[in-house]
Amino acid sequence: MTDIEPSPEEVEVLRQQLGDEAEEMGYHLNPDIGFTRNLVRGLLLNEGRYGYHSCPCRLASGERDDDLDIICPCDYRDQDLNDYAACYCALYVSDEVLSGERDLSPVPERRPSPDEREKTVKGFSAPAGESLSSLTYPVWRCKVCGYLAARDDPPGVCPICKAKAERFERFI
Amino acid sequence: MTDIEPSPEEVEVLRQQLGDEAEEMGYHLNPDIGFTRNLVRGLLLNEGRYGYHSCPCRLASGERDDDLDIICPCDYRDQDLNDYAACYCALYVSDEVLSGERDLSPVPERRPSPDEREKTVKGFSAPAGESLSSLTYPVWRCKVCGYLAARDDPPGVCPICKAKAERFERFI
Amino acid sequence: MTDIEPSPEEVEVLRQQLGDEAEEMGYHLNPDIGFTRNLVRGLLLNEGRYGYHSCPCRLASGERDDDLDIICPCDYRDQDLNDYAACYCALYVSDEVLSGERDLSPVPERRPSPDEREKTVKGFSAPAGESLSSLTYPVWRCKVCGYLAARDDPPGVCPICKAKAERFERFI
């Protein structure tokens, strides 16, 4: 397999797009721009190799189904940003890192081993006796896009698809 | 009733707005710009006729309550994009159509007949025995806007209203 | 305590940011720009005083935990916009106010008293007998960011983090 080297323009276009999407969620790309460009280059190389943006810091299997959890942003990014203020690669960082309040530190690998991934059944304990009728707010559903919001009344405009309040229905 | 012909500027402003909103959701307006302008013109004509953007490819009753499901984007758009890569009008198309991977094909009318619409009670079967305590993640609620997210911890920033993590409460 | 007067540039930057965020949710800043600048100045003064944007129209305690519900946007904004077409300060207004269909009127204080805030346990009555298996749509969860949508199939792209449909799992 011969890797196709992405052009600086391709790297820059993707870096901009990922940066914009991160900012909308309250995250940031790593401000070390050389470091970030290198990771974005890795995403593009993986796209050429496998057909998808698998994580540049992990070894992909090349089987899409087995790699789904490490297509960037990976299933572990948000949790790592929460616990370590950065994702495993340090491509994404939190406010605290950007403002200098917190230093980057190594992020341990959170991805389960292949065996564990297969048998993992996530579970958490809801408070005992909790049922739909014990919820504190009704849940409204946008009939256009399926957006859910828990509040006394539906939002005036769906924040996702911009449908008006009249397009919401009581869901729970 | 005399229709008020919208100006080319009005058509263009609405086309831009609908296009921006579609892109944010991962959809696209039909790239045939003449075709798309004609549909947007239809939306503006319907606004003049009825007071709302009813679907340009369906006959509206003129009673807002009866037409709610076909105010564009209609209640059927997302499902049609999923199944046919385009909405009923082909105003909205999916990535696959834009990239040429998939050709447009006629989209059958999914809207129930007036009689069926009245009696329709949607239902689906949740896996037997499912209850709140069997969910795989806790659900967090933004106290400012009602946004819900199912994850180990609340997001750092509400993606809808930008409130910080401290404004989230455990909902389920 | 000596207040630090924010510069007109700081006021303008925050006003623009809050305006953009409001528009995305279908709200607007008060079109009286002098009035709005004064409220935004109040937010910046409170940031200097307390370290957070507490509501410029309410007296903050200075204890972050006690003031969380009145950090702007406050927990009461959306409900007030729904009922009175404006928030308590009239910093945020609805479409109807912007278009002149509705005049601004005083918005009564909805915030409970300190005693009431402590003992408040929100509750609402779900329809009797409602359970997860009586919901009208399945709920899909984005494995990357936790976004939830109630619809027949997952969205093509997560509207929050842009992950593709394949990253969604059935949640309910």
Q: What is the ipTM of this complex?
A: 0.80
Q: Looking at the domain assignment, is residue C33 inside a domain?
A: yes
Interchain proximity A26–B159, CB inside 8 Å: yes
CA distance B21 to chain A (A): 7
Q: Looking at the domain assignment, is residue C15 inside a domain?
A: yes
Q: Do C9 and C89 reside in the same domain of the chain? A: yes
Contact with chain A for residue B99, Cβ under 8 A: no
What CA–CA distance (Å, rounded) separates C6 from B168? 29
What CA–CA distance (Å, rounded) separates A29 from A98? 9
What CA–CA distance (Å, rounded) separates A62 from B168? 38
HEC assignment per residue over A30-64: CCCHHHHHHHHHHHHHHHHHHCCCECCCCCCCCCH
Counted across chains A and B, CB pairs separated by less than 8 A come out at 89
Interchain proximity C167–A132, CB inside 8 Å: no
- Residue C33 is predicted with a pLDDT of 95
Interchain proximity A161–B73, CB inside 8 Å: yes
Q: Do A81 and A39 reside in the same domain of the chain? A: yes
- Per the structure, the complete domain to which residue C162 belongs is given by 130-172
Helices (H), chain C: 8-24, 33-50, 64-67, 77-84, 95-98, 114-119
pLDDT value at A119 more than 70 = no
Q: In this prediction, what percent of chain A has a pLDDT beyond 90? A: 73
CATH code, A155: 2.20.28.10
Contact with chain A for residue B53, Cβ under 8 A: no
Tell me how far the alpha carbon of residue A49 is from its chain's centroid. 22
Question: How many structural domains compose chain C?
Answer: 2
Q: Do B41 and B97 reside in the same domain of the chain? A: yes
- Residue A58 is predicted with a pLDDT of 96
Q: Do C8 and C70 reside in the same domain of the chain? A: yes
- Read off the pLDDT of residues C9-34 as tens digits, 9 standing for 90 and up: 999 999 999 999 999 888 999 999 99
Contact with chain C for residue A77, Cβ under 8 A: yes
Name every chain A residue with its beta carbon within 8 A of the beta carbon of C146.
78
Please list the residues that pair with B54 across neighbouring strands: B71
Distances (CA, A) of C28 to A21, B100, C19, C94: 23, 39, 6, 6
Residue range A48-52: mean pLDDT, rounded: 95
Q: Looking at the domain assignment, is residue C118 inside a domain?
A: no
Q: Do B26 and B76 reside in the same domain of the chain? A: yes
Tell me how far the alpha carbon of residue C51 is from its chain's centroid. 19
pLDDT value at A132 more than 80 = no
Interchain proximity A159–C124, CB inside 8 Å: no
- Read off the pLDDT of residues A68-102 as tens digits, 9 standing for 90 and up: 999 999 999 999 999 999 999 999 999 999 999 99
At A39, which amino acid appears? Answer: L
Max CA-CA distance within chain B?
Answer: 59
pLDDT value at C111 more than 70 = yes
A140, containing H or E segment = strand A139-142
Q: Do C141 and C99 reside in the same domain of the chain? A: no
- Read off the pLDDT of residues C121-146 as tens digits, 9 standing for 90 and up: 555 555 545 567 678 899 999 999 99
> Does residue C86 sit in helix, strand or coil?
strand
Residue from C21, C54, C117, C147 whose CB has the most chain B CBs within 10 Å, to mutate: C147
**Residue of A94, A123, A163 with shortest CB distance to B73:** A163
Tell me how far the alpha carbon of residue A167 is from its chain's centroid. 28
The residue among C156, A105, B71 whose CA lies nearest residue C168 is: C156
Q: Do B55 and B135 reside in the same domain of the chain? A: no
pTM of the model: 0.80
Sign of the four-CA dihedral C136, C141, C147, C152: negative
Q: Looking at the domain assignment, is residue A123 inside a domain?
A: no
Q: What is the DSSP letter of B150?
A: E
Q: Looking at the domain assignment, is residue B123 inside a domain?
A: no
CATH code, B72: 3.90.460.10
What CA–CA distance (Å, rounded) separates B127 from C172? 8
Name subunits touching C (3+ CB pairs < 8 A): A, B
Q: Do C91 and C141 reside in the same domain of the chain? A: no
Contact with chain A for residue B120, Cβ under 8 A: no
Q: Do A14 and A54 reside in the same domain of the chain? A: yes
Long-range contacts of A129-133 (CB under 8 A, 24+ apart): A130/B132, A130/B133, A130/B172, A131/B131, A131/B132, A131/C131, A132/A172, A132/B132, A132/C126, A132/C130, A132/C131, A132/C132, A133/C125, A133/C126, A133/C128, A133/C130
Interchain proximity B132–A126, CB inside 8 Å: yes
What CA–CA distance (Å, rounded) separates B163 from A3? 43
